[in-house]
Chain A
């Protein structure tokens, strides 16, 4: 046991003395969470639009007013002719153009219908979709509120409640996702690299012939990272709570315990990779490809998994971060207890055990 603590101490010193390792361990998570929190927000606010009003009557003025007052749009230009639309959209200065037909009010009164055209820059289809839906909702809202309809009978009042995130903040999506991403990347990448480094430098041979048993070597490699990743988890949660105002409605102890479990799972995955990788470069590449992309795309971090093709949905079931993100959201935002996350916890634990068994099988005591 004394040998083991000595080994762990050596590993600790390795990490702490290396400025670059320390930067990766503690600098990147903080920068990343701040960047994601402030920059990567997909809320729509003040999108630039232009209005081409052929009619210029009272109703079109009121609708325009209502669109701009909504806070989603900012009026960039009032156009005079249809020729101006295309250059303006091409220049990228506006995301959307709204066109009212000539004699809008007159048509509305006489024929009971009038036309509005919405042209959106769909080179970013997601944003365009949102902008068009918002504009349509605002315009139909105008008609619903206008005197003529409210006086009609058969009102259906919709009491809408936005649960768990009343202000619809984007951060509530990004903090759990970033946390999973960082813990996954750091834990798995750092361990796999540190074991691969010993192989690359040839010092693995020295370790293998030393009185330390293989299990002790691997555990010794991993132990410092458990501590560091745990500190990271605490830092990220603190940033989420104090900088971005996220609540922790559920039990903090449960949250930390789940994080610890996730970290251990990521570390055993790192060990598994290092049994395969012969050099740091390969270890790095595998961890980047196996973790970064799937964790970003298929875990429900940014894009909802439900709307992807079936094949990708199946793949998403083996992405550990998916379960961890669900757990964090449930505990932090919904305030649920263990009863609502036991399935996910069990899956992560099972993954961890599978990775450990696989790496024990593949760990070679001899070097080729």
Chain B
């Protein structure tokens, strides 16, 4: 039994003398913990969105201001789709929202219009979330328009339960 104690003592002395390994043994787990806790998140907070607004109408601006007010989106503006596409290629943007010319006119005349959403989907999971977020925003915008323009309260509307 005593031999084990001496062996233990020897091992401890060796560990404490080693000036490179000792700090590592202690620091590594702490740093690891700190980094892991903060780094390991799939949450999406800052989606970089490039808006190509070819319509320049009050309605399209209203749609964009909805995105602007959200904490999820960081907005940049471009005038051409090609330029916006470039920012997807060099990783400065995650998603492009294209509002075509005549967006407002189509909404008023034909009661329907379309927007284009181009998502960088290399990170498939993030792309799925971006799609959901953007879609929700546009749907909310449409609901607001319905109330504002036609005074129709959509019969079915989703309310998040708190």
Contacts and interface: CB of A to CB of B under 8 A. Distances in A.
B150 A115 contact: no
B38 A312 contact: yes
A155 B111 CA distance: 6
A307 B117 contact: no
Interface in B105-162: 107, 111-129, 131-132, 134-136, 138-139, 141-142, 145-146, 149-150, 152-161
A156 interface: yes
Interface residues of A, number: 69
B118 A161 contact: yes
Interface in B43-68: 43-46, 48
Interface in A232-253: none
A154 B150 contact: yes
A129 to B, nearest CB: 7
Given A113-B157, A165-B124, A329-B122, A308 B39 contact: yes
A353 interface: no
B12 interface: no
B125 A170 contact: yes
Contact of A152 (B38, B134, B152): B152
A140 B119 contact: no
Contacts of A161: 116-119
Contacts of A113: 157, 159
A97 B84 CA distance: 41
A152 B107 CA distance: 12
A91 interface: no
Contact of A333 (B35, B118, B122, B141): B122
A306 B161 CA distance: 30
A302 B126 CA distance: 11
Contacts of A140: 136, 139, 158
Interface stretch (A11-19, A211-219, A255-263, A281-289): A281-289
A166 interface: yes
A160 B131 contact: yes
A116 B160 CA distance: 8
Contacts of B28: 289
Contacts of A281: 21
B35 A112 contact: no
Given A130-B129, A152-B154, A158 B115 contact: yes
Interface in A94-116: 108, 112-113, 115-116
B136 A137 contact: yes
Given A137-B135, A162-B119, A282-B20, A116 B161 contact: yes
Given A153-B111, A161-B118, A293-B32, A312 B39 contact: yes
Interface stretch (A24-32, A75-83, A141-149, A199-207): A141-149
A304 B40 contact: no
Contact of B127 (A42, A162, A309): A162
A294 B117 CA distance: 33
A154 B35 contact: no
A19 B124 CA distance: 39
A309 B145 CA distance: 37
Given A144-B139, A154-B146, A164-B121, A336 B89 contact: yes
B90 interface: yes
Contacts of B48: 306
B44 A307 contact: yes
Interface in B1-46: 20-21, 24, 28, 32, 35-36, 38-46
Interface of A: 42-43, 108, 112-113, 115-117, 126, 129-130, 133-134, 136-137, 139-140, 143-144, 146, 148-149, 152-170, 172-173, 277-278, 281-282, 285-286, 289, 293-294, 297-298, 302-304, 306-309, 312, 326, 329-330, 333-334, 336, 340
Given A134-B132, A148-B156, A304-B123, 16 more contacts: A42-B42, A112-B153, A115-B161, A140-B158, A143-B158, A149-B156, A154-B112, A154-B142, A156-B107, A157-B115, A159-B116, A161-B119, A166-B121, A303-B40, A306-B46, A307-B43
16 contacts: A43-B124, A130-B129, A136-B136, A140-B158, A154-B107, A154-B149, A156-B113, A158-B134, A158-B135, A161-B116, A163-B118, A164-B120, A168-B127, A170-B124, A297-B35, A304-B123
